[in-house]
Structure 1
């Protein structure tokens, strides 16, 4: 059985927020104290660590479910199937629909049900549900979709990762500069075409570390202690996450690759969650070092510089951009073996080895 991605799509919001826009912000430490540095210095150091020059924000009238449906439309069209043929719609996100100007996340009905509604799918046998798995949500959704297909419960699955993080960031927190909005989607199918020699999904691996790590990313209060309201924002312990990720993500990636039986020298690309350029580079370098190798040139495509960190949307968006020839000096050919990998809130890590 070949379980393959037959169509991809992404939605990148048109509004661009450049780093210079943060020069007029008031950034505070978590205890509310002033940061002993100019905003220009803060932004310059931020760029050096994360690699982010700019990020995308959704327009005010659009919600997360809208972004998800736009990416889904494109993936379905690329797959060349009728939307009524979909057996599952799985949507990965973390914060639901947060309407512009609202302080409340809206998750009833589910984002997947909203997407099915927006796609105008009539078939009641098309099951729609959400997955909350931190930034690795889309990768985990793909793992679940292939399990349904492998078990004979589905033939066609749509997996979407979508988020509007711009609506849950604390403007007084330096970390707010990391986050962005966007959506990516993929259609998975059981391919019976004997002329297609590529294998699709070869192996996958997922782990959750929650004994000490569960709250490394959390919903917390604003850094501005003069504001008295109950609103919560996305928060993280950056140093702890960095140390956790560079230690544990390479091990999960190795476990996945070893399961696949693929020689690491045959791995063409590592499409890793666009969290932080320096952290991602450290992870992939350590992954190759586990095999006694140096990280090859051009093996780790990056989109974070222009798009920021859109959580569950980064990996499918990155894949879609490369397939469409929209990422400079990057390409994936028929038969190429690649790896999807991600880390995020939970703390969760996962990886997939895939032959295109």
Structure 2
């Protein structure tokens, strides 16, 4: 059967790391307050000359190197972001130009924190139809540029970064590697719980992020547990079969609560929220790259990806590495 196989991962972070203590000099907060409520200890903030496109390109190059393929072999780029360089063209086309792999397909996906899951499922579908043979799936954000730095309840939660994977269409055995199943959902009725109060069509401004944290938390735990069960049902597998969960890194409490709801031991959950904070669409591929490079995730492992973001949007994918 033809499956989309993850053959390389990469990531990129801005040069500037901001600790909780440094942030407390700017807004009314403290390291203890942030760590206790979120698990976050630091985040990376994009500086001059660092954009969503530059971080995405750096992550893509690292993924290509890990996959041992040339950029010219890439026929599809799907880039998930809620913070593009420009309203248009798509940031994916800028990455395509920077990599020198023009002529193929390149477009952006906007599903906020679930963006990478949406992009992964989209690229998987296109590869299995033969649209391309090799793809880059990227999550990249510069969320620091849409934060209200006077709102201590939100500005402490987010950071900037990018993560990427190379997907290759391969003919594999049933028990071989590749993406086994994906499920995606959206519910626009909850838009006012997590949104940006600006946009080209409504205000003509970029706007700032607004969030009702407690309500988002409650929806996240239920929705993520449900979608994980859906993917397991699709594959005939049980939670105990999963080797690793690579979740969206929003909040340590959400990660813990979701794991408990599925009876998953916490040691199976990849956690990077403490060092990266919430990087929206970048968080899942960033965490995956960390766990691939430190040797925790190995060939043959069953890995579950999951995320929920503004919209609401949420989803999960199960892959054998």
TM-score under structure 1 length normalisation: 0.84
C-alpha offsets along residues 279-303 of structure 1, whole Å, 9 cap, x if unaligned? 12112211x1xxxxx3314011110
Deviation at 1:246, TM superposition (A): 1.3
Residue aligned with 1:147, SS: helix
Q: Secondary structure at the match of 2:53?
A: helix
Report the alpha carbon displacement of residue 55 of structure 1 after superposing the two structures with TM. 0.5
Whether 2:173 is the aligned partner of 1:185: answer no
3-state secondary structure, aligned to 1:338: strand
Q: Classify the secondary structure of the residue corresponding to 1:215.
A: helix
Q: Equivalent residue of 2:84, what SS?
A: coil
In the alignment, is the contact (CA less than 8 A) between 1:54 and 1:306 conserved in 2? yes
Mapped pair 1:255 → 2:255: no
Contact conserved, 1:55 with 1:306, CA < 8 A, in 2? yes
- CA distance in structure 2 between the aligned counterparts of 1:205 and 1:193, rounded to whole angstroms: 22
1:310 aligns with 2:279: yes
Rounded to whole Å, the distance in 2 between the matches of 1:313 and 1:177 is 17
2:286 maps to 1:321:
no
SS in 1 for 2:287: helix
Asked if the contact 1:218/1:234 (under 8 Å) is kept, the reply is: yes
Deviations 1:69-112 (A, max 9, x none): 00011111222222122111111000212xxxxxxxx2222100
Distance 1:210 1:324 in 2: 37
Q: What's the CA shift for 1:154?
A: 1.5
Q: Partners in 1 of 2:184 and 2:235 — Cα distance? A: 14
Q: Distance in 2 between matches of 1:78 and 1:26?
A: 40
8 Å contact kept, 1:273–1:342: yes
Equivalent of residue 134 in structure 2, options 145, 156, 174: 156
**Residues 305 and 317 of structure 2 are in contact (CA less than 8 Å); yes or no, is this contact kept in structure 1?**
yes
- State which of 236, 249, 266 in structure 1 corresponds to 2:211: 236
Is 1:220 the counterpart of 2:221? The answer is no
CA distance in 1, matches of 2:10, 2:25: 35
1:176 to 143, 146, 155: 155
Task: Point out the more displaced range, 56-65 or 302-311.
Answer: 56-65
Aligned residues of 2:240 and 2:264 also touching (Cα < 8 A): no
Gap change, CA 1:134 and 1:257, over 3 Å in 2: same
In the alignment, which residue of structure 2 is the partner of 1:35?
A: none
Q: Residues 236 and 14 from structure 1, CA distance in 2 versus in 1: closer, same or farther, beyond 3 angstroms?
A: same
* Mapping for residues 137-152 of structure 1, pairs under 5 Å: 137-152=115-130
Partners of 1:198 and 1:334 within 8 A in 2: no
Q: 2 CA distance for matches of 1:297 and 1:58?
A: 31
Per the alignment, in what secondary structure is the counterpart of residue 295 of structure 1? coil
Greater helix percent: which structure? 2
Q: Deviations over 1:106-131 (max 9, x none)?
A: 22221001111111224x2x111000
Aligned residues, how many?
314
In the alignment, the residues of structure 2 paired with residue 119 and residue 4 of structure 1 have an alpha-carbon distance, to the nearest angstrom, of: 21
- Structure 1, gaps ≥5 residues long: 28-38, 98-105, 222-228, 289-293
Alignment of 1:1-356 (within 5 A): 1-27=2-28, 39-40=29-30, 43-97=31-85, 106-122=86-102, 124=103, 126-174=104-152, 175-192=154-171, 198-211=176-189, 213-220=190-197, 232-286=207-261, 288=262, 294-325=263-294, 331-356=296-321
Show CA shifts across 1:26-47 (max 9, x none): 45xxxxxxxxxxx33xx42221
What is the CA–CA distance in structure 2 between the aligned matches of 1:115 and 1:59, rounded to whole Å? 19
Aligned partners of 1:210 and 1:255: how far apart in 2? Answer: 20
Gaps of 5+ in 2: 199-203
Change in Cα spacing, 1:231 to 1:143, as seen in structure 2 (3 Å) is closer
Aligned residue for 1:214, secondary structure, equals helix
